[in-house]
A and B are shown apart, each in its own frame.
Chain A
Amino acid sequence: MAEIGSFVLLLALALAAYSFLAGLIALIRKQPGSERLSETARRAGIASFGTVFLGAVVLVTSAFRNDFSISYILHHSNRDLPLPYKFATLWSGQEGSLLFWSLLLSGYGLVLRLRHKTDTRLFAHASVVIAAVQVFFLLLLNFAAKPFAVTQGAIPADGNGLNPLLQYPEMVIHPPMLYLGYVGFTVPFAFALGALAMKYPGEKWIHITRRWTMVTWGFLTCGVFLGAHWAYSVLGWGGYWGWDPVENASLMPWLTGTAFLHSVMMQEKRGMLKTWNMWLVFGTFWLAILGTFLTRSGIISSVHAFAQSSIGDWFAWFLVISLGAFTFFFIKNRSHLRSEHKLESLISRESSFLFNNLLFVLACFTVLWGTWFPKISELAQNTKVTVGPGFYNKVTIPVALLLLLLTAVGPLLAWRKTSLESLKRNFLWPSLGALAVGIVLLALGIKPWNDVSYFYALIAAMLAALVAFTVISEFLRGGRVISRHTGQNLVASIAHLWHRNTRRYGGYVVHFGVALVFIGILGTPFNREAEKEMGFGDKLALGPYTLLNRSYTQEENGNYSSDLAIIQVFKGDKQIDTLYPESRFYTASKQQQHMPAIRSTLKEDLYVVYEGQNPDTGHPIIKAHLNPMVSWIWIGLITMVFGTILSLVPNAAPSRATVRDSVEAGVHVRPAPVGAGD
């Protein structure tokens, strides 16, 4: 199996290299016959997907067959590993995850190359860029991080097993989502660089890549949030975001990618920000690679990082080369990126996008700065420092709140110029609603003057309410107009409204999801916790809950043995649940891992951890956290994903409202063209 795997990866490298070189020559020569050469490059690119796919199949099959003659399988699997995790072996280690990355990149390349008829020349340029990135990853797989390296010496009877932290259902979904996001940004970057290199006229490349970008962003959003949920469900410290360098690495491209999703509308609608968008899409791609460099080079310490290895040098060189190539084409063809329009007013959609981009990029810079500062400090003063959650919370929360404000305000500003009357019409009721939320929270006992975190929570709640109310008011206003024109009921009218401009109204749903996420986050300052050694029948009180230790026991299966407590949860005198917090010991890897038990409601999460045992009494030590509002984060994610899907649905064909319906409804209207964008 190892030989087959190694061979197909070598073949994939040859095909990708051919696709890159032949494609590049065909683009440069522009002579008769170049088209045929370009076509062979395209087909080689398609074939490279087949070979990388085969390589991945070989690795997964080896995991299922317990083929420990392959070193990677020996170190990341074992005989008793449940089947889904055997499948996850593909991305659970350094070499396998690079193969997985390469597979996804080839997959994106396949789709791109199959759709080449949309615009043959632009797609040929993009295909060359994709092939170049493919070559880099396949060089890594063939020479620096070989997934099919054979085990030296005698082959052990069983493998070392998968890291216990990764043995959780979400780890079968989270990495693929994250990688689909990371890798996916290569596609808009490839189109951007291709368009820049060939001085592609107009904004068509943006129209072509719009869906790619949104799909990729959707995957990355899912990946980041699933990572947070995994951390919450598995790490057992009661939180979901620790500002670890690896978490930061996933957040940075998400921030610039989100900025790009917004600023690209400026280019589409107004022909502005062309240079900025080029750099933004390049920055997003570059940050995705930088994140990979961070997690794999060992340059910055993190619990999530892969083992330290020499591939960091490869990534560093790739970062430098890609920056050089992009800068070269930018300098060469920058005259092509001149803006076509001017800005008319500071209170306009355009300037809101400018500030939106500023804040996203600033947030990204802050995260990047905090992530690298320990290294900078080491170089500057020969002293290592820690940059932990306290730093990020202090410097990013104000930026996040400003972004939330723009999320509420920006979409309702008109292009070019917004009148005072329009501001009043759009914001009066949502602002009053947000104010009412603030007053209610104050009445409920939140004292923002006691602690700055309470102050932030209050502001975040009001801003989240403002976002939610503006989104609802937009749907209602538009729905009512449609309803008046067509005589449909309000719900049907809102569906009709969305279908006329799916991106705009899908985007509003995403914004609504963002507001929900903030509602979830703002509960953090009100977290509470308690810890107690609990014998049979002992009680632990936390907030409105009383935990009663009914029993504790040990269980064992082939993969792990576990100590678990049976905790009955009471609210008042009524038992409302039973929780089973565990502490597992994984046999193959000889590592211990907590498995918290979580009782989630919309109001709060009761999060119970089996911390360990008192060696003298043998009683379990139970730690309980009461985390308000956390569920709203995950509901917000689902809403954001739903909004992204809504945005991806093609618009209904532009049509004119029928006069007949309106006349029947007793309303006189002029036919209005619909389907125009925001």
Chain B
Amino acid sequence: MQFLSAHARRLQLIPALLAGVLLLLGAGDNSARIDRLGHQMMCVCGCNQILLECNHVGCSYSTRMRDELTAAVTRGDSDNGVLQWFIQTYGTTVLTVPTNRGFNRVAWIMPYLALVMGIALVVFIVGVWKKRPLAIRAGVPATVRGAELDRFREQARKETEL
């Protein structure tokens, strides 16, 4: 009987243990979210550091901001909700990168646009240069062609690349 009651007591503990485990799992999720969101925000004290990386002594903002972030995540606010709250409180500079909306989209588009335009330009230049007539210098024999030219090339290659 004593064994049964002890067993029952243990069984009664299971829901509590499960709740604890779930809470810990939730805490794990929360800390991952805090870590992710905290790396999407800057400390606004002027140190130009990511919120969770700001470590300068006596910073009057980072501790408060971290507490606010933890509170918002624990409350269950969505990622977007948390970020919006910080934007409204500290301004748009609190985000580490420009948003992908409105004029800020230009910030993201421009580097890729430049890459595409640059590649197109290089391909165009290569095309133009391939068609360009070769300027012939005085004193250079212009009649070297075909197999002879290939032979010279091969020889030059061997001689210069060892």
- The answer to whether A358 and B122 touch (CB under 8 A), given A237-B55, A385-B95, is yes
Residues of B within 8 A of A303 (CB): 46-48
**In-complex Cβ contact of B130 among A344, A374, A678 (8 A):** A344
In B36-51, which residues have CB < 8 Å from any A CB?
39-40, 42, 46-50
A610–B24 Cα gap in the complex (Å)? 28
Nearest CB of chain A from residue B150's CB, rounded to whole Å: 10
The 0/1 profile, CB within 8 Å of A marked 1, for residues 112-126 of chain B is 101100110110011
Residues of B within 8 A of A346 (CB): 126
Stretch of A112-120, A123-131, A669-677 contacting B (4+ beta carbons < 8 Å): A669-677
Residues of A within 8 A of B112 (CB): 395
Is residue B147 within 8 Å, beta carbon to beta carbon, of the partner chain? no
Residues of A within 8 A of B153 (CB): 416
Is residue B89 within 8 Å, beta carbon to beta carbon, of the partner chain? no
Residues of A within 8 A of B91 (CB): 384
Residues of A within 8 A of B68 (CB): none
Nearest CB of chain B from residue A102's CB, rounded to whole Å: 29
The 0/1 profile, CB within 8 Å of B marked 1, for residues 301-344 of chain A is 11100000000000000000000000000000000001111111
The 0/1 profile, CB within 8 Å of B marked 1, for residues 510-530 of chain A is 000000000000000000000
User: Is B107 in contact with A391, judged by CB distance below 8 angstroms?
Assistant: yes
- The answer to whether A369 and B111 touch (CB under 8 A), given A340-B135, A386-B42, A674-B162, is yes
Stretch of B1-9, B10-18, B71-79, B96-104 contacting A (4+ beta carbons < 8 Å): B96-104
Nearest CB of chain A from residue B101's CB, rounded to whole Å: 11
Nearest CB of chain B from residue A660's CB, rounded to whole Å: 19
A388–B39 Cα gap in the complex (Å)? 10
User: Is B111 in contact with A609, judged by CB distance below 8 angstroms?
Assistant: no
The bracket for how many chain A residues form the interface is 35 or more
User: Is A386 in contact with B94, judged by CB distance below 8 angstroms?
Assistant: yes
User: Is A358 in contact with B53, judged by CB distance below 8 angstroms?
Assistant: no
User: Is A370 in contact with B107, judged by CB distance below 8 angstroms?
Assistant: yes
User: Is B48 in contact with A385, judged by CB distance below 8 angstroms?
Assistant: no
Nearest CB of chain A from residue B157's CB, rounded to whole Å: 6
User: Is A239 in contact with B53, judged by CB distance below 8 angstroms?
Assistant: yes
The 0/1 profile, CB within 8 Å of B marked 1, for residues 355-382 of chain A is 1001001100110011001100100110
A678–B157 Cα gap in the complex (Å)? 9
User: Is B160 in contact with A343, judged by CB distance below 8 angstroms?
Assistant: no
Is residue A50 within 8 Å, beta carbon to beta carbon, of the partner chain? no
In B53-105, which residues have CB < 8 Å from any A CB?
53-58, 91-99, 102-104
**In-complex Cβ contact of A377 among B103, B110, B159 (8 A):** B103
**In-complex Cβ contact of A380 among B46, B92, B103 (8 A):** B103
User: Is A611 in contact with B126, judged by CB distance below 8 angstroms?
Assistant: no
Across the interface, name the chain B residue whose C-beta is closest to A611.
B55
User: Is A677 in contact with B160, judged by CB distance below 8 angstroms?
Assistant: yes
A445–B63 Cα gap in the complex (Å)? 36
Across the interface, name the chain B residue whose C-beta is closest to A355.
B122
A593–B55 Cα gap in the complex (Å)? 10
Residue among B39, B91, B118, B157 with most chain A CB within 10 A: B118
Nearest CB of chain B from residue A403's CB, rounded to whole Å: 12
Is residue A387 within 8 Å, beta carbon to beta carbon, of the partner chain? yes
User: Is A385 in contact with B92, judged by CB distance below 8 angstroms?
Assistant: yes
User: Is A351 in contact with B126, judged by CB distance below 8 angstroms?
Assistant: yes
Nearest CB of chain B from residue A392's CB, rounded to whole Å: 9
Residues of B within 8 A of A261 (CB): none
Is residue B145 within 8 Å, beta carbon to beta carbon, of the partner chain? no
**In-complex Cβ contact of A369 among B110, B121, B158 (8 A):** B110
In A586-610, which residues have CB < 8 Å from any B CB?
592-594, 609
User: Is B133 in contact with A385, judged by CB distance below 8 angstroms?
Assistant: no
User: Is B96 in contact with A377, judged by CB distance below 8 angstroms?
Assistant: no
User: Is B104 in contact with A385, judged by CB distance below 8 angstroms?
Assistant: yes
Is residue A107 within 8 Å, beta carbon to beta carbon, of the partner chain? no
User: Is B115 in contact with A399, judged by CB distance below 8 angstroms?
Assistant: yes
User: Is A623 in contact with B55, judged by CB distance below 8 angstroms?
Assistant: yes
Is residue A277 within 8 Å, beta carbon to beta carbon, of the partner chain? no
Across the interface, name the chain B residue whose C-beta is closest to A365.
B114
**In-complex Cβ contact of A594 among B50, B57, B126 (8 A):** B57
- The answer to whether A381 and B103 touch (CB under 8 A), given A237-B49, A239-B53, is yes
Residues of A within 8 A of B110 (CB): 369
Is residue A478 within 8 Å, beta carbon to beta carbon, of the partner chain? yes
User: Is B157 in contact with A414, judged by CB distance below 8 angstroms?
Assistant: yes
A380–B58 Cα gap in the complex (Å)? 35
Is residue A224 within 8 Å, beta carbon to beta carbon, of the partner chain? no
In B124-162, which residues have CB < 8 Å from any A CB?
125-126, 129-135, 137, 153, 157-162
User: Is B97 in contact with A390, judged by CB distance below 8 angstroms?
Assistant: yes
A307–B43 Cα gap in the complex (Å)? 21
Residue among B96, B133, B137 with most chain A CB within 10 A: B96
Across the interface, name the chain A residue whose C-beta is closest to B103.
A381
Residue among B48, B122, B129, B137 with most chain A CB within 10 A: B48
A236–B55 Cα gap in the complex (Å)? 7
- The answer to whether A672 and B48 touch (CB under 8 A), given A377-B103, A380-B103, A389-B96, is no
**In-complex Cβ contact of B160 among A361, A373, A396, A678 (8 A):** A678
User: Is B126 in contact with A369, judged by CB distance below 8 angstroms?
Assistant: no
User: Is A672 in contact with B159, judged by CB distance below 8 angstroms?
Assistant: yes
**In-complex Cβ contact of B118 among A358, A481, A593 (8 A):** A358
Residues of A within 8 A of B160 (CB): 676-678
- The answer to whether A354 and B111 touch (CB under 8 A), given A389-B50, A609-B55, A678-B160, is no
User: Is A386 in contact with B93, judged by CB distance below 8 angstroms?
Assistant: yes
User: Is A237 in contact with B53, judged by CB distance below 8 angstroms?
Assistant: yes
User: Is A238 in contact with B111, judged by CB distance below 8 angstroms?
Assistant: no
Residues of B within 8 A of A482 (CB): 162
Binding site for A on B (CB under 8 A): 39-40, 42, 46-50, 53-58, 91-99, 102-104, 107-108, 110-112, 114-115, 118-119, 121-122, 125-126, 129-135, 137, 153, 157-162
Known: A344-B130, A370-B107, A386-B98. 20 other contacts (CB 8 A): A343-B132, A358-B119, A358-B121, A377-B98, A377-B107, A383-B92, A384-B92, A385-B98, A385-B99, A386-B92, A388-B96, A390-B40, A394-B97, A395-B111, A414-B157, A482-B162, A497-B162, A592-B56, A612-B57, A623-B55
10 residue pairs of the A-B complex, CB under 8 angstroms, read A244-B48, A302-B48, A358-B118, A358-B122, A388-B48, A390-B40, A391-B96, A416-B153, A500-B162, A594-B56
Closest 7 CB pairs of A and B: A388-B96, A343-B129, A592-B57, A676-B160, A390-B97, A395-B111, A366-B111
